Amino acid sequence: MLLLASTLATSAVPARPDGRMPPAVVEPSDTARGAELPVPGVDTVRVFDTDTRDADARPVRTIAGPHTGLRGPADVAVDSTGTLYVANFAGDAITVYAPRANGDARPIRTITGPHTKLHGPASVAVDASGALYVVDRGFRVLVYAPGADGDVAPSRIVAGSRTELLLAIAVAVDRAGTLFVVVNGKGVVVHAPGANGNTTPIRRLGLAWTPLRAGLDLFGSARDVAIGRGDTLFVTSGNTVAVFAPGVDDTPRPLRRIAGPHTGLANPTALGVDARGVFYALNARTFERSITAYGADTDGDAAPSLTLAGRHTGLDLRPPPQVAPRKVTTRRRAATSTVTVYAPRADGDVRPIRTIAGPHTGFGSLFGLRVGKTGEIYALSCDGAIAVFAPDANGDARPVRTLPGRGVQPANGITSYDLALGPRDSVFVASMTGWGGGRGYLEVYGPELGRAGERPRVSAHWSGDASLAVDARSAAYVGTFSAVFGYAAGAPEVAPPFATLAGPSTELFLVGGVALSTRDGALYTTNGDDAVRIYAPIVAGAPADRPPIRGLIGPHTGLQHPGRIAVDATGMLYVVNEWAPDGGSITVYAPDARGDATPLRAIGGPRTGLAHPHALAVDARGFLYVANTPDDQSCFATSVY
């Protein structure tokens, strides 16, 4: 069986009463990996008979409908019985279907809920025992026991700074239970059977074998990995599929390399290998997708043995030639963001004392929130718009001043990720072009947001989405991926950081928020392995790779996908848990909290008005302000027909 959207899987389940056992090709209609292959219409899994010689073959089965539970299927795996496992990126769920499922079939099992820790599952694999391996948006591998169902906790989680899984996008598992994980831009990272926690890889497949130093890259742009007969390893990268012997390390020479104009490979993003050694590639050209199959011994610039493409397959998304293209316009999606305000020492399922929301607020998707020295509320939308509200703003309030945003942005446009205030309420904004490999920059505005003639100064460069803190000297600290960079006040364009915190000893992993203590200058960070790590003040000349002075991690902390963070004047720590149950939560910790500490207070529940809280701020009186962002895509263009 073959998975189309992000990886390909194979199965040897009988497809006919005569007992013949050809594999099938399974194609989810949507993909999570960068939203490269979105297909209009309902969520669908299509199954093809790979024995067909018809290039425009219809699926032999189609799983679709309201009872299927499919929500943004991103990947498929199939076990030896033909049971089908689907990673639902939009639904935070793994749905499991009977071998012959068809039509509006209900799943026989569904793994979903807060205890599963699933957050945007993008890739799934199954081993011989039935255990499931899932890569999700947290860039980690979650392992579930055979037969797992419902809101069940993973039996193992491979996550943390030592795992080298930052930007993990695909996973495969061999017969021994060895994990092979594709890491975007890096290659394939290999973890031992039974790996658990913040473990170090046993080997890496990174820099490519380069005959005659020709620069052939077999790993740097790897997109998917599959395991074939005898645990041979198949990797797709660029317009190439390379096959490697079991146990290879570092820069191996491939056993076979399939590439060239006759192969039909065109941006292959997914792979599958069946029991016969035949392998399949999903080619993800815009609107013109295809599946190409290759014999077990194929090498070089060889033509495929089968090409599935055409309108009946559902792979070809081009409009019919006789139909004129519909006019497409773009608009900014209506956002439903709010700012909720809570009394000092608020706890539990408590109602906010104020809620700022409504069309007059001008809110887009709120990514940043701060409170100034006079109590004014600064809210940053992801398109760069800044709205400033009076200290007592409530309801559908109009801002007292604004900075217009950039408006509609393409998917690779500019996103503003966080906002911070300087010592005189100067406004710092961390933004980035594109995603992951884009260019980050820092904009600095005066308190009047440019109305008095101030111009923003571009003063920093980094890559990745960012969180931001500013100290009393107007130095800015940017947290991104697995590093924190410090930039001096007034630094010129393309300025190098005056200090960096990065390296394996730091244990930084997917930094979601940074904050500075006004008491001692300590740096607080939230991390993608559900941890808070605290460091001595960042100063010029200090070593970059240094361990935290203390941290919070463990099941009693209540940390669940922690994001933005704030520290008040007394040292109390406030953390946003955006994807906690019931719309999210805010957990509050004592100044000296460490280890598996229980929060002093936790705000969460249906009365709180929390709805995917993304940013927070605490004022001098202890009032808590939270930016809620149910729709975090409203700064990007959408198609309207």
Q: List, for residues 347-398, the tens digit of each pLDDT value.
A: 999 999 999 999 999 998 899 999 999 999 999 998 889 999 999 999 999 9
- How far apart CA 48 and CA 64 sit, in angstroms, is 15
Q: List, for residues 262-316, the tens digit of each pLDDT value.
A: 999 988 888 888 888 898 888 876 556 788 899 999 999 999 998 888 778 777 6
- How far apart CA 272 and CA 227 sit, in angstroms, is 8
Question: Which one-letter amino acid corresponds to residue 330?
Answer: T
Confidence band, pLDDT 50/70/90 cuts, at residue 166: confident
Q: Which of 87, 90, 91 is nearest to 74 (CA)?
A: 87
Q: DSSP letter for 577, please.
A: E
Q: Which two tokens stand for residue 550?
A: 């203390």
For residue 117, the number of C-alpha atoms closer than 13 Å in the C-beta half-sphere is 27
- Coil, strand or helix at 483: strand
Q: Which pLDDT does position 253 carry in this prediction? A: 81
CA 336, 337, 341, 347 torsion: positive or negative? positive
For residue 632, the number of C-alpha atoms closer than 13 Å in the C-beta half-sphere is 16
Strands of the sheet with 123-126, listed across from one edge = 123-126, 132-135, 141-144, 156-158
Confidence band, pLDDT 50/70/90 cuts, at residue 459: very low
Query: How many angstroms separate the Cα of 149 from the Cα of each of 72, 112, 416?
Result: 20, 8, 39
**Per-residue pLDDT at 28 exceeds 70:** no
Confidence band, pLDDT 50/70/90 cuts, at residue 340: very high
Q: Which pLDDT does position 138 carry in this prediction? A: 81
- Coil, strand or helix at 350: coil
Q: Which pLDDT does position 450 carry in this prediction? A: 57
- Coil, strand or helix at 506: helix
Q: Which of 257, 224, 237, 303 is nearest to 32 (CA)?
A: 224
- What backbone phi and psi angles, to 5 degrees, belong to 161? -65, -30
Q: List, for residues 463-501, the tens digit of each pLDDT value.
A: 566 899 999 999 999 998 788 999 887 766 656 788 999
Place of tokens 């006759």: 262
- How far apart CA 312 and CA 482 sit, in angstroms, is 45
| Range 119-125 average pLDDT | 90
CB-based contacts of 313, cutoff 8 Å, min separation 6: 46, 48, 56, 57, 58, 59, 291
Q: How many CB atoms lie within 10 A of CB 108?
A: 14
Q: Which pLDDT does position 382 carry in this prediction? A: 86
The percent of residues in the chain predicted with pLDDT above 70, rounded, is 79
Residue-by-residue DSSP string for 104-126: SPPPSEEEESGGGT-SS--EEEE
CB 285 within 8 A of CB 327: no
- How far apart CA 248 and CA 209 sit, in angstroms, is 12
Q: Which pLDDT does position 592 carry in this prediction? A: 94
- How far apart CA 466 and CA 464 sit, in angstroms, is 6
Whole-prediction pTM value? 0.67
The percent of residues in the chain predicted with pLDDT above 90, rounded, is 47
CB-based contacts of 361, cutoff 8 Å, min separation 6: 379, 387, 389, 396, 397, 398, 399
Query: How many angstroms separate the Cα of 230 from the Cα of each of 117, 176, 200, 544, 613?
Result: 33, 11, 25, 43, 48
Confidence band, pLDDT 50/70/90 cuts, at residue 333: very low
Q: Which pLDDT does position 21 carry in this prediction? A: 32
CB 150 within 8 A of CB 110: yes
**Per-residue pLDDT at 33 exceeds 80:** no
Q: List, for residues 198-239, the tens digit of each pLDDT value.
A: 999 999 886 444 343 333 455 657 888 999 988 999 998 888
- Coil, strand or helix at 313: helix
- Coil, strand or helix at 320: coil
Q: Name 224's bridge partners.
A: 236
CB 44 within 8 A of CB 55: no
**Per-residue pLDDT at 625 exceeds 50:** yes
- Domains within the chain, CATH numbers bracketed: 24-313 (2.120.10.30), 337-640 (2.120.10.30)
Question: Which one-letter amino acid corresponds to residue 520?
Answer: D
Q: Name 150's bridge partners.
A: 111
| Average pLDDT of the chain, as a whole number | 81
Largest CA distance in the chain: 81
Q: List, for residues 398-429, the tens digit of each pLDDT value.
A: 999 998 877 555 444 678 889 999 988 889 99
Confidence band, pLDDT 50/70/90 cuts, at residue 26: low
CB 230 within 8 A of CB 248: no
Q: List, for residues 54-107, the tens digit of each pLDDT value.
A: 888 888 888 989 899 998 888 899 898 889 999 988 788 999 999 989 999 999
Give the strand pairing for 377-381 and 386-389. antiparallel
Q: How many CB atoms lie within 10 A of CB 131?
A: 18
Lowest-confidence segment of 193-197, 278-282, 561-565 by average pLDDT: 278-282
Q: Which long-range contacts (CB under 8 A, 24 or more apart) does 587-596 make?
A: 587/557, 587/558, 587/559, 589/532, 589/552, 589/557, 593/552, 594/550, 594/551, 594/552, 595/551, 595/552, 595/553, 595/554, 596/552, 596/553, 596/554, 596/555, 596/556, 596/557
Burial tier of 345 (Cβ tally within 10 Å: 0-12, 13-18, 19+): exposed
Q: DSSP letter for 408, please.
A: S
Compute the 3-state secondary structure of the chain and give helix, strand, coil in percent, each to the nearest 5.
5, 40, 60
- Coil, strand or helix at 229: helix
CB 182 within 8 A of CB 188: yes
**Per-residue pLDDT at 178 exceeds 90:** yes
